[in-house]
Amino acid sequence: MSEGGARRRGGGRPPEGQPVIDRAFALLASFDGDHRAQTLAELARRCGIPRSSTLRLARSLLGVGALERLDDGRYVVGLRLLEAASLAPRGHGLRTVAMPYMEDLFHVTRQHVLFAVRDQGEALLVERLSARDASPVRYRVGGRLPLTSTGVGLVLLAFAPPAVQEEAIAAYEPGHGDDDIRTPDDLRGVLAEVRRGDHAVGRRYRPFRMTTVAAPVRDGEAVVAALSVVAPDTGPGTPGYGPAVRATARALSRRLAEDGSQAVARG
Amino acid sequence: MSEGGARRRGGGRPPEGQPVIDRAFALLASFDGDHRAQTLAELARRCGIPRSSTLRLARSLLGVGALERLDDGRYVVGLRLLEAASLAPRGHGLRTVAMPYMEDLFHVTRQHVLFAVRDQGEALLVERLSARDASPVRYRVGGRLPLTSTGVGLVLLAFAPPAVQEEAIAAYEPGHGDDDIRTPDDLRGVLAEVRRGDHAVGRRYRPFRMTTVAAPVRDGEAVVAALSVVAPDTGPGTPGYGPAVRATARALSRRLAEDGSQAVARG
């Protein structure tokens, strides 16, 4: 789970003459889970932008609050960006409607509860609830996951447009998905099963045994998000969270259908 | 609670020749709780940017995913912005550490739990947990509140640098704060009391009686955030949430002190 590091770094060298907005967002995108605070030199190097231009860009972004500086002079992402992002309908808007349902699921299971949406060929984790003593997981709110991996990814992929699915199947390599999915054909079979059963079950054996159950969240006909519980797999006696996840996803879908896109727009 | 609408609209007319980044962020800032989806014409009008420039800007922002379009062609804030914003240490970073403690407080009280940080002269609501059946409040995640209003605002103001406090006191007008604070001197007295007691109690009588208790969250010596419970005030029998809020804020502060800024930076 590289959280899109490769994508960002791969896309981090804009050609000369690239519009200033592309450069500004390349600069913002160079922050990730492993680079939350960066010096000017790091920013310039990681974005492949000349240092003088990086300084000008950084100053503009400081001016609008999209960046802030730590006491040691390093740059971090600013609060102003959080404020603007909070109005993204497919992010915080959906999340606001989903949150009480996630709370319910969390109360009942006391395990990790994940809520994700699809952004082109990846899943974006919009929210995660976790108990203080829950086993650690690598899923970070705002982070990206491959669609071929974990329950929410598989649900979002199973209900994605055929072209997105075919691309993911064609590109599939073992290790990019759950440990039971070894070949592109395995993946194709799993996706068909997800659609048939209207939920996904995933297992991982490393670093320890985890199991996940995910179900689609619909706004009318369209699958707009996926909800899951991720829990340690403790063998035959492991509680089955499937019915709870599926019932909660249906309750949330019903709520979205009742309110229509108004609910999301209201956030 | 205008959620910064005035500030945004007031600052929404950039002078000719303003750098493109300032314009791009003015455009993003023109989205607010009442304007979550906008046509190109609305964007141009509300930002005071000529329509042709607005179209160019919007296209660039669509290209980097900072904007998305609805089926009806209107523009909304895009998921990519959420992804970048999730790395803001003072937003999601702090929030990640705070979340399990907020959960605990929510479990115990089943009332609104708010978590806010100060951004210059305003409070920014980083997180809110609310029961599905809780009384409605006007506080939106990612939204702004005056520092002179509600518990978290008063706590953040009481521990702000003296210049920030003096400015807020000088500008204070009745109606901009809790209903018991009528004059700048009232406000000065309340702030001193917040520092003495290390917590704030606020009351509102409209639209219905609400009471709030807020306490500071510290990272070492510095107050970095405020935590509160907002509950309907049902008269003499109303449960006192003060001790729960204060104990939770202290537990969270202890955790931040143990981990230092690492905890926040790790997010």
Select the highest-mean-pLDDT range: B5-9, B108-112, B217-221: B217-221
From A244-258, B15-29, B189-203, the region with the lowest mean pLDDT:
B15-29
Rounded to whole angstroms, what are the CA distances from B101 to A102, B113, B262? 17, 10, 18
Mean predicted confidence (pLDDT) in A36-59 = 94
Query: For all residues of chain B together, what is the average pLDDT?
Result: 83
Residues A118-154 have pLDDT tens digits of 988 899 999 888 876 666 667 778 888 889 988 999 9
**Position A236 pLDDT exceeds 60:** yes
Percent of chain B with pLDDT over 70: 84
pLDDT at A85: 85
Lowest mean pLDDT among A64-73, A223-232, B232-241: B232-241
Residues of chain B with CATH 1.10.10.10: 5-85
pLDDT tens-digit map of A149-196? 889 999 999 999 999 999 999 999 877 667 778 899 999 999 999 999
Q: Report the C-alpha gap between A150 and A153 in whole angstroms.
A: 5
Q: What is residue A238's predicted lDDT score, i.e. its pLDDT?
A: 59
Q: Which CATH class is domain A5-79?
A: mainly alpha
Averaged pLDDT, B93-119: 88
CATH number assigned to the domain with residue range A89-266, chosen from the 4 options 1.20.140.10, 3.40.50.2300, 3.30.450.40, 3.40.50.12240: 3.30.450.40
Nearest to A100 among B83, B126, B130 (CB): B130
Query: What is the C-alpha to C-alpha distance for residues B6 and B209, in angstroms, rounded to an integer?
Result: 27
Chain B, 42-101: which have a CB under 8 Å from a chain A CB? 57, 60-61, 63-66, 68, 76-93, 96, 99-101
Is B251 touching A (CB cutoff 8 A)?
no
Residue A265: pLDDT over 60: no
What are the start and end residues of each CATH 3.30.450.40 domain in chain B? 89-266
Query: Is there a cis peptide before residue B207, judged by omega within 30 degrees of 0?
Result: yes
Class at the top of the CATH hierarchy for domain B5-85: mainly alpha
Q: Which pLDDT score is estimated for B18?
A: 61
Helices (H), chain B: 5-10, 20-29, 40-47, 51-63, 79-85, 94-109, 150-158, 162-171, 184-197, 242-259, 261-266
User: What confidence category does residue B113 fall into, taking pLDDT thresholds of 50, 70 and 90?
Assistant: very high
B38-94 pLDDT, tens digit per residue, is 999 999 999 999 999 999 999 999 999 899 998 899 999 998 888 888 888 887 778
The answer on pLDDT for A100 being more than 70 is yes
Q: Do A79 and B140 touch (CB under 8 A)?
A: no
Tens-place pLDDT, residues B131-174: 766 666 677 788 888 899 889 999 999 999 999 999 999 999 87
Residues A92, B141: C-beta atoms closer than 8 Å:
yes
How crowded is residue A174: how many other Cβ atoms within 10 Å of its Cβ? Answer: 12
pLDDT at residue B15 is higher than 70: no
pLDDT for B182 equals 86
Question: What confidence score (pLDDT) does residue B12 get?
Answer: 44
Alpha-carbon gap: A74 to the closest alpha carbon of chain B (Å): 12
Q: Where in chain A is the domain with CATH 1.10.10.10?
A: 5-79
Confidence of residue A5 (pLDDT cuts 50, 70, 90): very low
